[in-house]
Amino acid sequence: MKVQSGQIGDGDMQLLSNAGAMLAYSDDANGTHNAQIVFAADRTGKYYLNVGGVSTHTGVYQVELSNHVAQVFGDDFALT
C-alpha cells in the first residue's frame, strides 16, 4: 500500500484491524513525504486503511494497493 502525496504535501496512513487496532503506520517512507506500508495478512477478514495529511496538510492524494502472493519454490539441486 502506498500513498503518493501529490497536492496533499505530506500524507500518512494507518492500517487498522476489523476491531480498529492499529496494525501499521507510515509517514515519510524511503526519504519522501509518501507513506508506504508492506503488510502480510496472517488471516482473512476486513482491514481498514486510514489516509490523511500530516498536521494541517490537506489536498489530493493517490492510494496504490497491490496484491502479491508469495511463491515457494522447491530445491531442485541434488546433493551428491
Domain count across the chain:
1
pLDDT at 7: 63
Residue 59 grid coordinates: 489536498
The CA radius of gyration of the chain, in Å to the nearest whole number, is 17
pLDDT at 77: 56
Domain ranges, residue 30: 2-64
Coil, helix or strand at residue 31: helix
13, 20, 54 from 4: Cα distances, Å? 11, 24, 13
- Is residue 78 assigned to a domain? no
- Is residue 72 assigned to a domain? no
Q: What is the pLDDT of residues 42-68, one digit of tens each?
A: 888 899 988 877 777 677 777 787 776
The burial class, CB within 10 Å (0-12 / 13-18 / 19+), for 57 is middle
